[in-house]
Amino acid sequence: MIDYAWLTPLIPLAGTVINGIFGRRLPKFVAGPLACLTVLCSFALSLMVFLELNAMDEGRRLAVRSVFTWIESGTIKVDFAVLIDPLSAVMLLIVTGVGFLIHVYSLGYMGHDEGYTRYFSYLNLFMFSMLLLVSAGSFLLMFVGWELVGLCSYLLIGFWYEKKSAADAGKKAFVVNRVGDFGFLLGMLALFGVFGTLDFEKVFAAVRHDSLVSPWFADHAVPVHEALAVATPLLGLPLITVICLSLFLGATGKSAQIPLYVWLPDAMEGPTPVSALIHAATMVTAGVYMVARCGALFTASPDAMLVVAYVGALTAIFAASIGLAQNDIKRVLAYSTVSQLGYMFLACGVGAFAAGIFHLATHAFFKALLFMCAGSVMHAMSGELDMKKMGALAKTMKITAVTMWVGALTIAGIPPLSGFFSKDEILWSAYSAHLNGSETGKILYALGAAAAVMTAFYMFRLIFLTFHGKSRAAPGVHPHESPPSMTVPLVVLAALSVVAGCVGVPELLGRFPLSRWFFDFLAPVTGGGHGSAPAAHAGSGAEGAVMLVSVCAAAAGILAAYWVYNARPALHDRIRERLGPVHRLVFNKYYVDEIYTFLIVEPGKWLSSRLLWRVFDAGVIDGVVNGAGYLAQGAGAVLRRFQTGVVLNYALFFVLGIIVMLYLIL
Amino acid sequence: MNAVGLNSYLFLAFVLFLVGVMGVLTRRNALIIFMSVELMLNAVNLTLVAFARFLHSLDGQIFVFFVMTVAAAEVAVGLAIIIGIYRRSETVNVDEINLMKW
């Protein structure tokens, strides 16, 4: 089936075309299920590809299938090629699997929306783009998918475009992503300059075997490590570090890391299933996937790895702290997503790429689950987002409440749910990482562990405010359980969140079939020996301690949330008053948006209106255009003197012309 | 036999052509101008025939027939235009006909 893997992205594209062009004429019971069906087909295909890959020998699990030559010009040759290896197979499964469930959920959630078919054609377009991104065989094709998911994100955030805040949020996401995309583009061009190709396999093989390349700055072939160690004008950093940091800038844009995370919380203006699929489970993980895919490059630059790890850890704790004080149920989850993505980058930064992808997988399940539960709550509360106006929903919404409890326990990291294993793997990798200076790993670990406490706290704050305590609903709102098309995906995802962890259990907790399967499966791509395996025998005591701390951190966060928000309902007002300025700072998201507005947006506007518009556009561009007109007019004014209309004058010019020509010729 | 040389023919043709040119440039009556144009054409015809005779090639003479045919057609069209102009403006003085002005 691997030969047909390239069909996986194309099937949803067919859905886009059909729904996009004929959608208005299709009855609703055709358009929606059609979109779901295309994704189901892709899922089935991905599953077959995955099983076939799994049946191969471990060392040979790699297939590049070129469909056609896309660009060929001089030395540039780019095929439309898919790359199927364990990493992309896992990603295909996650994207199509979660994508299918969210499509089904959307049938119920978007059932009464006017843009029903438009919604599904966008959603299918997103599936196409994301599948293209993860199955692409070259940087350029990946970049196409990368840009397309950005476009879909923009379209779906601004889905309710008549709402100004939604349209603005879409624009913000697009512009912020462009900043990151620029970094990606720079990194890609530099790679092309060095390696002369953009195919993943050729680039990584060249790095692995240190083969000879002819970069643009050298006049003869040099080994890769020399080419990549060339100092650049940028602070004298070696080329490889600059390339990796450029690529990582792209990742911070797409995966909402400091400093480009600001678009993600605003992206919650889109429909909730979109938040679940694009802004939690799949698209925002594209950056993590890209860094893991380029693991061979990143490991060659310890400095870049350190930056990745620190940005990840700082984002994890920073976003989690903002999540503590938000009242909008979706924003809490959005900051939680930013924070969890930080964990994934932390894992990549310490070299545990497989652990990062593992957390990506479990996060896809439990965060999609949490968002869809939040969507179910909104559905029940007639679109209410403020948790202060909820409460006691557990009585009326049993399935949603139970599944959300499962999701919250998973993200908090309570064993034996999947979140515990994936987060613990990351924290242990950070703790045991040997970075320059042995203390660095410990600092990263401390940041991660502190973020874990906050994670547990804000999640259970959300749970207690929403589902327990007294109802604070506005009069006239009658909460009710959602239809089966919404609750069934919740149950499936809850089940996945519970069991997904058993394919990545630390060896400390025993060994059984498949217990390390995830890491063994990914080892050929991400490099074997990462994660807890190598250090396990060296410090099993420390690993146990790390695990214990994780559990205690989760429990502490949950108990604190219970104490403040359920047992003593009046307490949190007192705490808020006591914390005054700190609370205001966190509640207003550290004023980052305001700072960005002041530092970047306003100068940008000033530059645009004063310089680019008044001077450049009005002066130069319009000047050139008008100048062309004036030139023609002036030339005409002079030349029309010759047009006397008297035939004899014309005849005279004839004769004079002929005489001049004769004189010149003879 | 060749008492009269090529140069004599060419000189005659040159003079005829100059007369034609001067006629076109100086006269005001459209009919006279028209006749001067015919004179120029015939001067050219004369050179063609002379060259044909002296180079022992019939090409020039064939070309003359073409020129005469075209000239006849041109006369027909030209006279029609002049009549048209006269009917419109009651004059054939080209100084007074300046419709081609901007």
Highest mean pLDDT among A217-231, A450-464, A584-598: A450-464
Q: Inform me whether the C-beta atom of residue B75 falls under 8 Å from chain A C-beta atoms.
A: no
Q: How far is B21 from chain A (nearest CA, A)?
A: 8
| A35 contacts A120 by C-beta, under 8 angstroms | yes
The answer, yes or no, to whether residue A533 has pLDDT greater than 60, is: no
List, as ranges, residues 616-645 from A with C-beta within 8 Å of B.
640, 643-645
- Tell me the per-residue pLDDT of A470-486, one tens digit each, with 9 for 90 and over: 888 777 778 888 888 88
Q: How far is A637 from chain B (nearest CA, A)?
A: 11
Q: Say if the Cβ atoms of A646 and B102 lie within 8 Å.
A: no
> Which residue shows structure tokens 């217990």?
A515
Q: What crossing angle do the helices spanning B30-55 and B59-89 adopt, rounded to 10°?
A: 180
Among candidates B24, B28, B101 on the partner chain, residue whose Cβ is nearest the Cβ of A644: B101
Q: A238: cis peptide before it, omega within 30°?
A: no
| A370 contacts A333 by C-beta, under 8 angstroms | yes
The answer, yes or no, to whether residue B1 has pLDDT greater than 60, is: no
Chain A residues touching B36 at Cβ < 8 A: none
Q: Inform me whether the C-beta atom of residue B19 falls under 8 Å from chain A C-beta atoms.
A: no
Q: What is the pLDDT confidence band of residue A537, given thresholds at 50, 70 and 90?
A: very low
Q: Inform me whether the C-beta atom of residue A649 falls under 8 Å from chain B C-beta atoms.
A: no
Query: What is the structure's pLDDT at A544?
Result: 86
Distances in whole angstroms, Cα of residue A350 to Cα of each of A355, A427, A532, A555, A572: 10, 10, 12, 26, 37
Nearest CA among A364, A553, A546, A397 for reference residue A460: A553
Q: Say if the Cβ atoms of A646 and B95 lie within 8 Å.
A: yes
Complex ipTM, two decimals?
Answer: 0.77
The answer, yes or no, to whether residue A531 has pLDDT greater than 70, is: no
- Cβ-proximal residues to A85 (8 Å cutoff; 6+ apart), any chain: A53, A61, A62, A63, A524, A525
Highest mean pLDDT among A32-41, A68-77, A523-532, A596-605: A32-41
- Cβ-proximal residues to A156 (8 Å cutoff; 6+ apart), any chain: A119, A122, A123, A126, A270, A271, A274, A278
Chain B residues touching A655 at Cβ < 8 A: 21, 25
The answer, yes or no, to whether residue A115 has pLDDT greater than 90, is: no
- Tell me the per-residue pLDDT of A96-111, one tens digit each, with 9 for 90 and over: 999 999 999 999 888 8
